[in-house]
Structure 1
Amino acid sequence: MRRLFFLALILVLHMNPLAAFSQKADSALQPLAFLSGRWTSDPIEGQEEEYWSQPTGRSMVGTFRVVKDGDAVFYEFWAIEVEDGKAVFKMKHFDRGLLGWEDKSDMVRLSLSVSGLQDILFSKPDGSLSLRYQRSGDELVSTLRRVKDGRTREDTFRLHRSKE
């Protein structure tokens, strides 16, 4: 019996070695799969680069950086994790040299509040901060909206799927 088990395992690994160890993405992350890939822009202010992993298990990860005159200006590191069946966007900011903006255990947390076909919105419950991602073909548009003291500020980032 033991020999039969190992023979079956060898057969599975031979046919698709990663299938035996891969994890299917949590259903809460499936609507976010359109983010996956490397996205770039080259605006006057500096080159922007964003990367999103494929959803795997109960998370996906991403990074963002701005490079100006050959030097990194700042970085963002993200994780989208499933908590209580819902996707939660978690972000930390860093200056060049990986000097963190937030305290060690602090982070920006946004909940998935709207999800459509290649259009998602993460936001704080009080509406003070939101991040919308919209994809059309090879273009990914992210809009960061902040409300403070009754004033609203929006920054829009237009990125294109990298061929590299």
Structure 2
Amino acid sequence: MVGHFRQLNKDGTVMFYELITIVEEGGSLAYRLKHFNADLTGWEEKGKVVSFPLIERKGDRLDFSGLVYERTGKNTMTASVTVKEGGKTETLTFRFRRKG
């Protein structure tokens, strides 16, 4: 499965992009992604990806090693990820709703 994510700044300009695949790996799934700046320069080294192996599935909740997707309603879901930056740990939560 292939997807993308776009994070916007408050003024509506692009902060960064992610290209995403969910692939079969070792008899399970893995969520893989590459980050790109607004000018499409990559964050990761060429040939490298960030990979989150699936570690738990419980009902409508998928935990890809700390990157958690959960269906919260018929047309809604959340994604949360814990990031470490500058010695701080923060959990970011994104709320999605089906359009149309």
- Please classify the TM superposition score into its range, dividing by the shorter chain length: 0.7 to 0.9
Matches of 1:147 and 1:86, distance apart in 2: 26
Greater strand percent: which structure? 2
1:63 corresponds to which residue? 4
Aligned-pair distance for 1:67?
2.9
Matches of 1:80 and 1:72, distance apart in 2: 24
Matches of 1:70 and 1:61, distance apart in 2: 24
Matches of 1:141 and 1:121, distance apart in 2: 12
After TM superposition, the score normalised by the length of structure 1 is: 0.54
Greater helix percent: which structure? 1
Cα RMSD (Å): 1.9
2:68 corresponds to which residue? 132
After TM superposition, the score normalised by the length of structure 2 is: 0.86
Q: Residue by residue, what CA displacement relative to the aligned partner does 1:95-152 show, whole Å, maximum 9, x if unpaired?
A: 11211000111111111001122110001xxxxxx20011122111111013579853
1:160 corresponds to which residue? 97
Amino acid at match of 1:63: H
Aligned-pair distance for 1:70?
3.8
- Contiguous gaps of at least 5 residues in structure 2: none
Change (3 A) 1:146 1:67: closer
Secondary structure of 2:54 counterpart: strand
1:143 corresponds to which residue? 80
Matched, 1:77 2:19: yes
Amino acid at match of 2:8: V
1:104 corresponds to which residue? 46
- Contiguous gaps of at least 5 residues in structure 1: 1-59, 124-129
Identity %: 35
Matches of 2:32 and 2:25, distance apart in 1: 11
Q: Residue by residue, what CA displacement relative to the aligned partner does 1:40-82 show, whole Å, maximum 9, x if unpaired?
A: xxxxxxxxxxxxxxxxxxxx11110023434222101111111
Change (3 A) 1:100 1:149: closer
